Amino acid sequence: MIKKLFSFSVIAFLLISCGTGGNREVSQNNEEQGPLKVEFASLIDNPSEYVGKNISVEGKVVHVCMHSGK
């Protein structure tokens, strides 16, 4: 009797836990997905285009000053 009850409770738990995925909505808003990735050349050419926006610029450091660089 205890084996049947245990088996039934395990099966019930598995069935209940599989159905609780919920409704996950995917946001299409760019502001919620993080900063806008911008090339350095376009940032220098049109800086006013990015005023008030969160941006991310990646690049390679080619020179660091010995006196003030870290």
DSSP conformation letters of the chain: -HHHHHHHHHHHHHHHHHT----PPPP--GGGG-PEE--HHHHHH-GGGGTTS-EE---------TTT--
In a domain, 39, yes or no: yes
Range of the structural domain that residue 55 is part of: 33-70
What pLDDT, on the 0 to 100 scale, is given for residue 32?
58
Domain count, the chain: 1
Q: Minimal CA–CA distance to 59: which of 41, 46, 33?
A: 41
In a domain, 64, yes or no: yes
- pLDDT tens profile 3-60: 888 898 888 888 787 766 666 665 555 445 678 888 888 889 999 998 988 999 888 8
In a domain, 20, yes or no: no
In a domain, 68, yes or no: yes
What pLDDT, on the 0 to 100 scale, is given for residue 45?
93
